[in-house]
Amino acid sequence: MTVIARDLGQPDAGRTLRAELESRGIYATGLVNNAGFGTHNALTDEDPDRLQSMIALNISALVDLSRAYIDPLTSADTSVLINVASLLGFQPTPYLSVYGATKAFVLSFTESLWEENRGTGLRVLAVCPGATKTEFYDAADSETADYGAKRVTPQHVVRTALDTLDRRSTPPSVITNGRPLALASKFLPRRLIVRFMGRMARR
Ligand SMILES: NC(=O)c1ccc[n+]([C@@H]2O[C@H](COP(=O)([O-])OP(=O)(O)OC[C@H]3O[C@@H](n4cnc5c(N)ncnc54)[C@H](OP(=O)(O)O)[C@@H]3O)[C@@H](O)[C@H]2O)c1
């Protein structure tokens, strides 16, 4: 295994990484955009630089990596592009407002790529985990950014993603846990959902 440590929040992260891998003779047939973080505060309490870093990592790096790899991935006989979104991408997330919006972007962007690449050998999937036991909550400086939900293991998230890719027809996205929230967001009035989310996340 080759490990290359990079700050993906830097501009052109995707193109730079692909060039470096290929200079070592490594050509990918799969890309998993997993790196990301969130912060848990009202916007007035957020550090503007941290917000910029979050957008750079959660959105810009993910787009740049996807763009850098889409041509080789579509040229391969069989390939995979997984973008890690979130259950929080389905509705507004007061007190995690920027994080939730970055994940709504990832979900929308990835579902668009799913359609653009249907009928090719590339399977595109947005993975939308609910609360998961990782260091995410330390990075967010929050024990409660999970909205009180029971956390599943990362293994469960990975297993669900891989099982979904194994289906005869890969859907645009998969929710690995916490599906009732996504369903509620689909059917309840937006105003009700945003107030519920705000009440759950207020510190
Ligand atoms: N945990 C949850 O409840 C949850 C729910 C839904 C979605 N997600 C999403 O799942 C993904 C993985 O997060 P996680 O839960 O596993 O949290 P985590 O344990 O904090 O892992 C975050 C990962 O992102 C990497 N990363 C952070 N900043 C980076 C940067 N500037 N450049 C390169 N890599 C960077 C970290 O690398 P280092 O370890 O080297 O810093 C680490 O591998 C994220 O996109 C997150 O938004 C998590």
In short, whether 84's Cβ falls inside 6 Å of ligand 1 is yes
Between CA 200 and CA 129 the distance in angstroms is 18
Binned at pLDDT 50, 70 and 90, residue 147 comes out as confident
Question: Domain residues of the chain, as ranges?
Answer: 25-201
On the CB side of 147, CA atoms within 13 Å amount to: 21
Nearest CA to ligand 1 atom 46: 36
| pLDDT computed for residue 146 by the predictor | 81
Assess whether the C-beta atom of 60 lies below 6 angstroms from ligand 1: no
| Distances in whole angstroms, Cα of residue 150 to Cα of each of 10, 16, 177, 188 | 34, 38, 9, 22
Are 83 and 106 contacting, i.e. CB atoms less than 8 angstroms apart? yes
Question: Ligand 1 pocket check: which of 6, 31, 37 to mutate, most ligand atoms within 8 Å of Cβ?
Answer: 37
Token couple for 117: 């690449």
Quote the ligand 1 centre to 134 CA distance (angstroms). 8
**Average pLDDT of the residues in 56-71:** 97
CA–CA gap between residue 126 and residue 64 (Å, rounded): 16
Secondary structure E strands in 73-143: 79-84, 122-128
Mean of pLDDT over the chain: 95
pLDDT bin (cut points 50, 70, 90) of residue 144 is confident
* 188 within ligand 1 shell (Cβ under 6 A): no
How confident is the model over 116-130, as pLDDT tens digits? 999 999 999 999 999
DSSP 8-class letter at 60:
I
Cβ of 129 less than 6 Å from ligand 1: yes
Which of 64, 136, 152, 179 gets mutated to test ligand 1 (max ligand atoms within 8 A of its CB)? 136
pLDDT digits (tens, 9 = 90+) for 29-44: 999 999 999 999 999 9
Check if 178 has its Cβ closer than 6 Å to any atom of ligand 1: no
Is 140 close to ligand 1, i.e. is its CB under 6 Å away? Answer: no
> What CATH superfamily classification does 25-201 receive?
NAD(P)-binding Rossmann-like Domain (3.40.50.720)
The answer to whether 177 touches 159, Cβ cutoff 8 Å, is no
How many angstroms separate the CA atoms of 198 and 203, rounded? 10
HSE, side-chain direction, 13 A CA sphere, residue 43: 8
Of the chain, the percentage scoring pLDDT greater than 70 comes to 100
